[in-house]
Chains A and B, each alone.
Chain A
Amino acid sequence: MLRKGLAVAALGLALMGGPALAAGSQKELRTVAWSFGGPFGKFDRAQLQRGFKVYREVCAACHSMNLMSFRNLGQKGGPFYDPKYPNPNDNPYVKTIARDYEVSDIDSDTGDVIKRPATPADRFPNPYPNEAAARAGNGGALPPDFSTLSKARKGGPDYIYSLLSGYVTPPAGLEVSAGQYYNPYMAGDVTAFWKGQGHAPKGGFIAMAPQLAPDKVTFDDGTKSTVDQQAKDVAAFLTWVSEPKLEERKAFGVGAMIYLLILSGLLYVSYRRIWRNVAH
């Protein structure tokens, strides 16, 4: 009876449906069958490399990635992992990428502030010296840091992909202020700016102009460089940045589940055997 009652209660819980929070008024996200989805998911190495290229050539001009070091690119599960170099600091590809960046340092002989080429152990340098400079360079808006972005947005990679590839011409009747752009996937409320007929369109304003364009990034593996492709690849890359241990976690998880299933089975059989002579 208790079981039945709680089943009813659980049904109530199920009716609450997924997110407890009332969603904003943004358009329903476009979903992608990501290679890293599901319990057996793994990152597509080539996609991560393409995504890194999009990040490096487009996003990095404004967005920092404070928690990432160059060495992370060459670690197990990273875009440039090479089994020949178990220590990612030795990975020549990673070394070359790092050398292209300049980081601040102190000259240990003179104490002067100097610039030197980065090493794999360095963090990705921030494009702006401080938050005020970042805001000043972007019309008052702060470009969010990328280190945990995919975990910090509802919908994760689907959201990043939808937003980046989802810019549309604002519907007639929507007043868009200078320095703002309309995006149907951005959370927000545009009612106050709506002069057209009927309901205000879904979505919100974002301070970032559309950044992706066909062939803006040339992919080294010959993949056709469409906006859709660039958005997908950079969303996958940012998911790896947020969860660099995703592959290790899922692989470990499959083993753990198998172990627990066998253990549960054995314990159930033991339970039946031990209790077989007890009326209960």
Chain B
Amino acid sequence: MSGHSSYVPKTGFERWLDARLPVARLAYDSLIDFPTPKNLNYWYTFGGILALCLGIQLATGIVLAMHYVPHVDYAFASIERIMRDVNYGWLIRYMHSNGASMFFIAVYAHMFRGLYYGSYKAPRELLWILGCVIYLLMMATAFMGYVLPWGQMSFHGAVVITNLFGALPIIGESITTWLWGGFAVDNATLNRFFSLHYLMPFMIAGVVILHVWALHVTGNNNPTGVQVQSKADTVPFHPYYTVKDGFAIAVFMLMFAAFVFFNPNALGHPDNYIPANPLVTPLHIVPEWYFLPFYAILRAVPDKLMGVLMMFGAIAVLFILPWLDTSRVRSLRYRPTTRMYFFIFVVACFVLGFCGGRLPDDKVIPGLTTFVLLDADLNSMVWLSRFATAYYFAYFLLVLPLMGLSETPLEQPASISEPVLSPSAALPAGATASPEKRG
């Protein structure tokens, strides 16, 4: 899609097609001859893994929809019927339910990689923002999908999340009624969630096309963060990255299969195998693991509206990230101080996930009572999530803008082919090694 095409139609049919609809040229230029930096590490394989995840969710989801009944009286039993009476229904359903978790594992790895190597920085701002749009759509899709089995967690999770919109002033109540299609989470809600759950993956697929398109205009970032300068810096996508991505995908599938076949319910919640009952509220309502960090942010704020705004703000801040990071150096490899803050950020994300799964009053250090600060004991999950939330936002709003201005980055290599060995071994200017002669 970028630069000139090296595709040469070989057969008569290819020439005929190429003059009318150059799909073969498109595929050749983007999947075979696409020049890719030769130093991409395994963190760069998650893009391919994510494409596979989307494919698996679409394929299994379409089959599940053939058997699923979106009705409050039949939804739960229809899922169990799939698991018991449909040929390989257990496989399709467990692949789909665990596939959602795998999708999020991969997307989080993909995003952390982007954050670390500065893949959101110019000229890849739109590429990053399209990725954020995909992530947002994924969250909406996963949430609605989790409601469909109509178990206890499905129902009460849907109540909690839709009620969040009720926190908005003036319009809040009308919005929740509009979302529900009634005055409570009920059959109308389940029906529309099913409809949207079927629609949204195709929207994701559409944005994925834009995401890949944007990627192929700017080209891949790489672990050095240095732009590709010559052909010596790149290898053709096929076979170099098809085989590397293929290996990574196979290893990822091993983990996926270990869950599907041997621990299919490990990532879910037992309460969701109890049919939904609006009159009985589960002891603890918790979302799926991939939402726990945001759930912790929501509960860290004493005010409901502020909590909702902070939760959405945690995602919104990702959209403006390209303009928050003021550094001209992309890769954190060459920004040792920021790199340290980044790892604290990763820990803060995990801490938030940890807090999201606990009760706000649970003790962080068991058996230790300290003192009450504002509304809760300092040694509690709610205070831990407050510190982690503060750090989450501080990383984007303070660390990245300020570090870019104050930090002196390490020396970057002149090109991908010539990584800086060490400051003492750095060659004098002009005496660049010729990479094509190596190896």
* A residues at B contact (CB < 8 Å): 1-2, 5-6, 8-9, 12-13, 15-16, 20-22, 24, 39, 66-67, 72, 144-145, 147-148, 151-154, 156, 187, 242, 244-245, 248-250, 252-254, 256-257, 260-261, 263-264, 267-268, 270-271, 274-275, 277-280
Give the Cβ gap from A73 to chain B, nearest Cβ, in Å: 13
Partner of A253, one of B84, B235, B261, B439: B261
Q: How far is the CA of A152 from the CA of B151 in the complex (A)?
A: 10
B213 at the interface (CB under 8 A from A): no
What separation, in Å, do the CA atoms of A135 and B271 have in the docked complex?
21
Q: List 12 A-B contacts (CB under 8 A).
A: A9-B347, A16-B353, A20-B289, A20-B354, A22-B284, A67-B81, A147-B80, A187-B283, A253-B257, A257-B257, A257-B258, A270-B247
Q: Given A9, A253, A270, A277, which contacts B243 in the complex, CB threshold below 8 Å?
A: A270
* B139 located at the interface, meaning its Cβ lies under 8 Å from any Cβ of chain A in the complex: no
* CB–CB A12/B243 < 8 A: no
Distance (whole angstroms) from the CB of A258 to the closest CB of chain B: 10
Please give, as numbers and ranges, the residues of chain B lying within 8 Å of A144 by CB-CB distance. 274
Decide if B393 is an interface residue (CB 8 Å cutoff): no
CB atoms of B346 and A1 under 8 A apart? no
B113 CB within 8 Å of chain A: yes
Contact at B354–A12, with CB atoms within 8 Å?
Answer: yes
Question: Does B438 make an interface contact (CB < 8 A)?
Answer: yes
What's the least CB distance linking A80 to chain B, in Å?
Answer: 17
A120 to B286, CA, bound (A): 40
Give the distance in Å from the alpha carbon of A280 to the alpha carbon of B39 in the complex: 5
- Say yes or no for B123: interface residue by CB 8 A criterion: no
Give the residue of A22, A72, A152, A154 whose beta carbon is less than 8 angstroms from that of B362: A22
Q: Among residues 331 to 372 in chain B, which have CB atoms less than 8 Å away from a CB atom of chain A?
A: 332-333, 339, 342-343, 346-347, 349-351, 353-354, 356-359, 362
Sorting the interface of chain B by its residue count into under 10, 10 to 19, 20 to 34 or 35 or more gives 35 or more
Chain A residues positioned under 8 Å from B283 (CB to CB): 24, 187
Select one of A13, A22, A153 contacting B358, CB under 8 A: A22
Q: Give the residues in chain B near A245, CB-CB below 8 Å.
A: 83-84, 90
Q: Which 9 A-B pairs have the closest CB atoms?
A: A253-B261, A20-B357, A152-B273, A5-B343, A267-B247, A264-B250, A279-B439, A151-B273, A148-B273
Q: Does B172 have its Cβ within 8 Å of any Cβ on chain A?
A: no
Q: Name the CB-closest residue of A to B235.
A: A278
**Also in contact, A264 and B251, with CB within 8 A (given A5-B343, A9-B350):** yes
CB within 8 Å for A271 and B243 given contacts A250-B261, A253-B260: yes
Q: A52 vs B182: C-alpha distance in the bound complex, in angstroms?
A: 44
User: Contact partner of B270 among A2, A13, A151, CB < 8 A?
Assistant: A151
Q: Using a CB–CB distance below 8 Å, which chain B residues touch chain A?
A: 38-39, 43, 77, 80-81, 83-84, 90-91, 94, 112-113, 116, 235, 239-240, 243-244, 246-247, 250-251, 253-254, 257-258, 260-262, 264-265, 269-271, 273-275, 283-284, 286, 289, 292, 332-333, 339, 342-343, 346-347, 349-351, 353-354, 356-359, 362, 417, 435, 438-439
**Are A274 and B247 touching (Cβ within 8 A)?**
no
**Are the CB atoms of A154 and B270 closer together than 8 Å?**
yes
A-B contact count (CB 8 A): 142
A104 to B292, CA, bound (A): 47
Q: Do B240 and A5 have beta carbons less than 8 Å apart?
A: no
- Given A271-B243, A279-B439, the answer on whether A2 and B254 have CB atoms closer than 8 Å is no
What is the minimal beta-carbon distance from B256 to any residue of chain A, in angstroms? Answer: 9
Across-interface contacts of A13 in B (CB, < 8 A):
350, 353-354
Chain B residues contacting A271 (CB-CB under 8 Å) are 243-244, 246-247
The answer to whether B250 and A260 have CB atoms under 8 Å apart is yes
Q: In the complex where A16-B357, A245-B83, A279-B435 touch, is A8 in contact with B343 (Cβ < 8 A)?
A: yes
**Secondary structure of the A side of the interface?**
helix
Min CB distance B239 to A, Å, is 5
Of the candidates B38, B84, B342, B343, the one whose C-beta lies within 8 Å of that of A278 is: B38
Given the contacts A5-B342, A5-B346, A260 and B243 also touching, CB distance less than 8 Å:
no
Given contacts A148-B273, A187-B283, contact A2 B113 (CB under 8 A): yes
A264 and B247 form a contact (CB under 8 A): yes
Q: A21-B357, A24-B283 are in contact. Are A267 and B261 (CB under 8 A)?
A: no
Chain A neighbourhood of B81, CB < 8 A: 67
A contact residues around B246 at 8 Å (CB) = 267, 270-271
If A6-B346, A21-B357 touch, whether A261 touches B254 (CB-CB below 8 Å) is yes
Contacting pair B351 A12 (CB below 8 A): yes
* Least distance between B360 CB and chain A CB atoms (Å): 11
A39–B332 alpha-carbon span in the complex (Å):
42
Task: Name the B residues within 8 Å of A12 (CB-CB).
Answer: 347, 350-351, 354
The answer for the CA separation of A246 and B64 in the assembled complex, in Å, is: 19
A267 and B253 alpha carbons, distance in the complex (Å):
13
- The residues of A that contact B351 with a CB separation of less than 8 Å are 12
Q: How far is the CB of B410 from chain A (nearest CB, A)?
A: 12
Contact at A244–B84, with CB atoms within 8 Å?
Answer: yes
Q: Among the listed A2, A151, A248, which residue makes an inter-chain contact with B265, where contact means beta carbons less than 8 Å apart?
A: A151
Residues of B within 8 A of A20 (CB): 286, 289, 292, 354, 356-358
Q: CA separation between A24 and B260, bound complex, in Å?
A: 28
Which residues on the A side are within 8 Å of B83 (C-beta)?
245
Which A residues lie within 8 Å of B77 (CB)? 66-67
Whether the pair A274, B362 counts as a contact (CB closer than 8 A) is no
Q: Could you tell me the distance in whole angstroms from the C-beta of B70 to the nearest C-beta in chain A?
A: 19
User: Nearest-CB distance from A207 to chain B (Å)?
Assistant: 14
Closest to A20 in B: B357
- Beta-carbon nearest neighbor of B339 in chain A: A1
Q: Which of A151, A153, A250 has the most CB of B within 10 A?
A: A151
Known: A20-B356, A271-B247, A280-B39. 15 other contacts (CB 8 A): A16-B357, A20-B292, A21-B286, A22-B284, A151-B270, A249-B261, A252-B91, A252-B261, A254-B261, A256-B261, A260-B253, A261-B254, A267-B247, A275-B243, A278-B439
